[in-house]
Amino acid sequence: MNKYLERIVDALDIETFVICRDEDEGMDIIRKMMGEMGLKDVDIVFCQHRGPGARIRARGYIFRSGDHYGWLKEAE
């Protein structure tokens, strides 16, 4: 994991407008993009298709509640 991502306590939110045919394609694009960023656990928080694309808000979890937090390793 990226050393800076380990310092995040919970999640990283991204909101953007994606050019796509429909909401399904837009959500697929965002999940793949966040996967390439190293965020494997992703929730789509909001998605609305309008015109040429979709407004999408996604949350990539670095740590969920109860995970073994990376930032605690430094304290140990």
pLDDT digits (tens, 9 = 90+) for 16-72: 999 999 999 999 999 999 999 888 899 999 999 999 999 999 999 988 888 877 667
Amino acid 74 reads E
Query: Which of 31, 27, 30 is closest to 40 using CA atoms?
Result: 31
pTM: 0.79
Angle, CA 5 vertex, CA 28 and CA 31 arms, to 5°? 0
